[in-house]
Each structure stands twice: as structure tokens, then as C-alpha cells.
Amino acid sequence: MTEQAFLQVAVQKATQTAEGSAIEARPDQVAVEEPLEIRLGYGPADRRQQRSISITMRTPGQDAELAAGFLLSEGIIRGGGEIETVRPVGSAVGPAAAHNVVQIELRPMVAVDLGRLERHFYTTSSCGVCGKSSLEALELQQAPALDEHAPRISASVIYGLPDKLRQSQTVFDRTGGLHAAALFDAKGNLLAIREDVGRHNAVDKLVGSQLWAARLPLRDKGILVSGRASFELMQKTLMAGCPMLVAVGAPSSLAVELAVRFRMTLLGFVRDRRFNIYSGAWRLV
């Protein structure tokens, strides 16, 4: 995460005292939130097409990872080898001096089905009547096959993950305003961490970082998130070939249904040395 991730602002702090309330002026640091447009170039060299495929509110930094992770989780690409170039577009704008457009060019031989993207936007996790369609769309995207036997993780390792995550959230320490996603192994080591104002963006950045490092699929790893587990986060975990999602907060009903359908391990309310197992208990020692 770069220094674009937070800005210093002037605030007035109110504190209760024996005499009433005291108000004092002081500086504070807040998380940056800026729009990011993802543009896609695809098709044969003599018939290239350009399409704006997403606009998301994010914390600037690791935008190439975010864009690549988004394309992978939506089934537009299968791996980093299908991407030719990624570059920021336009001038740096706003108080964070951020480039708010990123252009991804796919290799000419890559076949693109943008209908998958359109179906996803219709069947989001916020749409209660579309749950069955969302799960069927994932099956049509041919999600990676998961390892039934890995990772094998002890409960004692799971208990310690939230504290490790919290100690690694450098921008959260300054602002208190970011979600985090971390990749961990069977021994509880945090291998990578990403922060963002959007929980889905944090996971996209994390998955994108592993895509660029050619470490996908994440067959023997788990993903830890600082908030709740939604259908969207489960989808991104699945499309990265990762069999386990661990959430500090609560899962949604559709997240549980997805985990059961694809035989993923889903843990929720992981805090205070306890957690709930919603699916995939066989991966826990």
C-alpha cells in the first residue's frame, strides 16, 4: 500500500469530562476513497475492441493487482499469461494524486465472453431473488477444482489468525477505516496482505498479487478477511482455486450455500479463541 492510502485532515475532537464536554482541534488521518475504472482491450490484432467493464470505489494502490484479480474472479481470464499489458491511463487527480483509470490489454488469442460479466452484474449478492442463478453462473464459469485434502489446519492455528492480521494492518493503524484480506498457509504464516476501503477490492488485490507471481491456484492455502463473508468474497476465493475462507465476521446465507455446493471450508466469527464451522470441517485437524 502506498502513501496514497491515507490523507491528513483537520478535525475537532469532543471528549466527555467531569465538567461536560471538551472540544479541541487536532489532525487526523483518513483512508482515501477514489473511483477506479477498469478498461479492457481484447480481440485479434486487426479487430481490437475496447470496453469499460467496471467502476469501483477503492483505496489507491495496487491497482494492477485489483484489476487482474477482478478479471480472474469474474471468469474473464484464466491466468496472468492471458494479460499482455496493464497501465494507468490519464492524469493523476484528486488530493491523493491517483490515476483513476487502468487499461488492461489481453493477448490477441484470448477469447472473451463479456456475457459472464453482464450476468454477474445482474445476479449480485445484494439481490435476494437471484441466489440460484448466481450459483449456476459460477458452475458455468468452470471454477477450478479444489483439493479435498488440503490445507489441513489445526484449530489452534485458526485462533491466532485475527491477531496476526490486525498486527499487519499498517494503514488501518493510521485510519481505522480499511478492510483487509490475507493469504495464509497451514502453519498460520501470513504470506501476503492487502487493505482497501472495499472488502471485495482487498480480496481482488490479494488474488491479483498471487496471479502476477504465478502462484495460482491457491490449492493448499486459505484466505482470511477482516469483516464478514459474502457471496462475492466466496466467489473470488473459489475462482482463485482456494478451498478455505476464514472471516472475522458473519457469513451470509448464500456464502454458506456456495461453500457447501463447492465443498469449500467456511469459518465465521473467528475471534476470542472460538469460531463457527459452516462447511468443510474435514480440513480442520
Q: Torsions phi, psi of 144, nearest 5? A: -60, 145
Q: Select which of 7, 110, 127, 284 is catalytic.
A: 127
Give strand pairing partners of 103.
39, 87
Q: How far apart are CA 170 and CA 180, in angstroms?
A: 10
Burial class (CB in 10 A: 0-12, 13-18, 19+), 248: buried
127 is catalytic: yes
Q: Torsions phi, psi of 226, nearest 5? A: -80, -15
Helix (H), strand (E), coil (C) string for the chain = CCHHHEEEEEEEEEEEECCEEEEEEEEEEEECCEEEEEEEEECCCCCCEEEEEEEEEECCCCHHHHHHHHHHHCCCCCCHHHEEEEEEECCCECCCCECCEEEEEECCCCCCCCHHHHHHHHCCCCCHHHHHHHHHHHHHCCCCCCCCCCCCECHHHHHHHHHHHHHHCHHHHHHCCCEEEEEECCCCCEEEEEEECCHHHHHHHHHHHHHHCCCCCCCCCEEEECCCECHHHHHHHHHCCCCEEEECCCECHHHHHHHHHCCCEEEEEEECCEEEEEECHHHEC
Please identify every residue annotated as catalytic.
127
